[in-house]
Amino acid sequence: MKYTDSKDHAELSEQFNRDEARVDWHDKTLWFIREKRDKAAWQILEWEQLRETASQIKNNVLSNLHSYLLQFEKNAQQNGVTVHWASTPEEHNELVLSIIQKHGVANIVKSKSMLTEECHLNEYLSKQGIDVVDTDLGERIVQLAGEPPSHIVLPCIHWKKEEIGELFHQHLGTPKGNADPQFLTAAAREHLRQRFMTSKVAITGVNFGVAETGEVVVCTNEGNADLGVQLAEVHIACMGIEKIIPLRKHLGVFLRLLARSATGQPITTYSSHFNKPREGQEMHIILVDNGRSERLGSADFRNALKCIRCGACFNTCPVYRRSGGHSYHTAVAGPIGSILAPGLDMKKNADLPFASTLCGSCSNVCPVKIDIHDQLYKWRQVIVQNGNVSTTKKVGMKSMSFILSNPGVYKVSGAVGRWVIKHFPFIVNNKFNPWYKQREMPKAPEQSFGEWYSKNRKP
């Protein structure tokens, strides 16, 4: 599903913020998951050491990616897997389509893959007459609703159960008014079982590709990736080139971190290691670049390639929790999405690095220690230097810079500001002032600190 809206993060957040009770609910739900993450992490005495090790392994991957990719390709081929390379999303989508068409299939199943979201695969395939069913429950819900996921791990975290009950009533024929999660999950299980039984092609994402062995590891709680693949004649695994790890034993480090960081679980229910296709089955791996190799050359921004897509930075982010995933208008939302998206299209995503308070909580929970908030700050500078900010922001920043670098002007404008707020509050307390939204403006103090100090200074 593609975002066609041209509104920016601030405008889309404003829409989300109209329902205050819902914002509170969204905020609390995600914070609850952040707390579960903390509890899980604190049970591991060597947690910080584990993060550091994971970070160093990923640094090593970035500096040896060329040889690891070749090693991975060679080993996967020896395992009987066909390896494809795609520079662009278009090329990835065409490759997937050609494999599907070779088998003359019109219905396929897909388990969760943020890469295929990034490439807008579903939209492309449906235009070609292929019916793709997302089999992760959360993804199926947003797919039925015609929406993109709002969170990389919890795709329908913004949906209430009553709304899901209504959606299922319309699409799956469940009784009207039934919003029991147990009942709705059972209904989805029945509905999707039929699709599993009849789909000859299954697409999955990839959590880790091991250079040493050529195997790919896919993690789910529902078992949907496994059920899809094991019942299909063709398995297509789509992965970004940065998903490579050097050795099998490194999975021990990453699997200890992944689910604990994501949802506070000790591990996902299934961590499946696909080496060779099952007897009579075809297996394909598509390695996708889409700007990753270019980003690798940027010392400031290459660290974002270390991401293992756990979503911990989403759950902790005060802006994400209160603005919702759709306000980021990109496949990967949240803090990590805000540093990935400008690399893909700076102009279109120029607003995202500003959708942050730079509090740094994202960097603190990141299991591979990506300097997310530093990168947000650096992107802002790149974006301004390239002229990709609004005139309001540009003029505002220029005048602030003029005021703050001239002590005389600073003094006078401070005094004028205090006087205006005191005597004509409506000049600032109105909807034209962006700082007035969802805020009370402060009461103006009688005097500035400078004035107070010169009055009270002891001789």
Question: Which residues inside 26-85 make contact with another protein, applying CB under 8 A?
Answer: 29, 32-33, 43-46, 49, 52-53, 56-57, 59-60, 62-66, 69-70, 85
Count of residues that bind another protein according to CB under 8 A: 92
The nearer residue to another protein, 156 or 355, going by C-beta atoms, is 156
Work out which of 127, 189, 398, 437 binds another protein, going by CB under 8 A. 189
CB of 380 to another protein, least distance (A): 23
Nearer to another protein, 8 or 148 (CB): 148
Residue nearer to another protein on the CB measure, 296 or 384: 296
How far is 59 from 252, CA to CA, in rounded Å? Answer: 17
Which of 87, 98, 390, 430 touches another protein (CB under 8 A)? 87
- Pick out residues in 233-292 that bind another protein (CB under 8 A): 241, 246-253, 255-256, 263, 265-276, 278-280, 287, 289
Residues from 366 through 395 that contact another protein (CB under 8 A): none
Q: Which is nearer to another protein, 257 or 339 (CB)?
A: 257
Rounded to a whole number of angstroms, the minimum distance from the CB of residue 7 to another protein is 27
d(CA 282, CA 238): 14
Distance in Å, CB of 38 to another protein, minimum: 16
Question: Which range, of 16-24, 86-94, 334-342, 372-380, touches another protein by CB under 8 A?
Answer: 86-94
Q: Which of 175, 294, 357, 424 binds another protein (CB under 8 A)?
A: 294
Q: Which is nearer to another protein, 242 or 351 (CB)?
A: 242
- Whole-number Å distance between alpha carbons of 227 and 202: 9
Token pair in block for residue 376: 């947000």
Among the listed ranges 181-189, 361-369, 407-415, 425-433, the one in contact with another protein (CB under 8 A) is 181-189
Least CB distance from residue 189 to another protein, whole Å?
Answer: 6
CA–CA dist 170, 145 (Å, integer): 10
Q: In the complex with another protein, which residue's Cβ is closer, 250 or 321?
A: 250
Show the binding pattern over residues 311-350: x = contacts another protein (CB under 8 A), - = does not.
Answer: ----------------------------------------
SS (H, E, C) the chain: CCCCCCCCHHHHHHHHCCCHHHHHHHHHHHHHHHHHHHHHHHCCCCHHHHHHHHHHHHHHHHHCHHHHHHHHHHHHHHCCCEEEEECCHHHHHHHHHHHHHHCCCCEEEECCCHHHHHCCHHHHHHHCCCEEEECCHHHHHHHHCCCCCCCCCCCCCCCCHHHHHHHHHHHHCCCCCCCCHHHHHHHHHHHHHHHHHHCCEEEECCCEEECCCCCEEEEECCCHHHHHHHCCCEEEEEEEHHHEECCCCHHHHHHHHHHHHHHCCCCCCEEEEECCCCCCCEEEEEEECCCHHHHCCCCCCHHHHHCCCCCHHHHHCHHHHHHCHHHHCCCCCHHHHHHHHHHHCCCCCCCHHHCCCCCCHHHHHCCCCCCHHHHHHHHHHHHHHCCCCCHHHHHHHHHHHHHHCCHHHHHHHHHHHHHHHHHCHHHCCCCCCHHHCCCCCCCCCCCCHHHHHHHHCCC
The yes or no reply on residue 181 touching another protein (CB under 8 A) is yes
CB of 161 to another protein, least distance (A): 5
* Closest CB to another protein among residues 3, 85: 85
CB closer to another protein out of 17 and 298: 298
Interacting residues with another protein between 114 and 173 (CB under 8 A) = 135-138, 141, 154-156, 159-161, 164
Residue with tokens 């529902």: 222
Closest to another protein by CB, 5 vs 46, is 46
Binding of residue 184 to another protein (CB under 8 A): yes
The distance of closest approach from Cβ of residue 140 to another protein in the complex, given in angstroms and rounded to an integer, is 9
Q: Which of 82, 107, 230, 429 binds another protein (CB under 8 A)?
A: 230
- Tell how strand 82-86 and strand 282-288 pair up: parallel
> Which stretch in 14-22, 25-33, 98-106, 320-328 sits in contact with another protein by CB under 8 A?
25-33
